[in-house]
Amino acid sequence: MKIIPLNERIIFALDFPEPELAAQWVRKLDSHLRFFKVGLQLFLAGGWPVVEDIIGRGNKVMLDLKFFDIPETVHLAVRQLQNRGVSFATIHGNRPIIEAAVADKGEMKVLAVTVLTSFDESDMVEMGFTGSVRDLVLIRARKALALGCDGVVASALEATPLRDELGKNFLVVTPGIRPGLNRDVERDDQRRVATALQAIADGADHVVIGRPISTAPDPVAAVAAIQEEIARGLSS
């Protein structure tokens, strides 16, 4: 059984254009949560100093760059993450790319992105896939885990089938989290969404959340409310 502190269950998405703004958010929230996501926008704006600042304050980092290239390039890119203190890194890819990514991962966890949460069944049809999103998530997750990935990134809607079919001995990290889902909730560019309560109860280990916290009138209160949801999900 994984032992994950409550203050590491939320991975706060630092989706900001300026390193200074991201640093302000880290300082505002890291007495309440200890895990932060650095994506393409912020990493291109601030590079390694952004990551080092977060880790230097005793926090964890999910470096969400979604590596996808020829295997040797991915291998060398992942090697660049060694000894940087990164906890999670994300990749896309087929067998050779995944094998290249996990070859030198060291203590870092490599997560395979299954299907982006901005995709739905209509996108599957447009891309020429005949199966469902759920089918594709399971196919990609099964392959990634067999090749040595430590977990997957998938929506909460696939958490239950992932656990039912592939077990519990891997990480499920879930974006697309929205509070109090109803017709009026702002989904932004996400399509396959769920509450933190649903995600955790259905088997997710971590939930990635950005705008529902950063746009809340009281972000710290929003974190506390989501953590309360998570605690209920864990006990369900």
CB under 8 Å to 146, separation ≥6 — which residues? none
CA geometry: angle 177, 31, 201, nearest 5 deg:
30
Catalytic residue of the set 37, 60, 66, 105? 66
The answer for residues whose C-beta is within 8 angstroms of residue 50's C-beta and 6 or more apart is 14, 19, 22, 23, 38, 42, 43
- What is the distance between the alpha carbons of residues 199 and 173, in angstroms, rounded to a whole number? 9
Q: Is residue 37 annotated as part of the catalytic site, yes or no?
A: no
> What residues contact 63, with CB distance under 8 A and at least 6 apart?
38, 43, 51, 81, 86, 88, 89, 90
- Residues assigned a catalytic role: 66
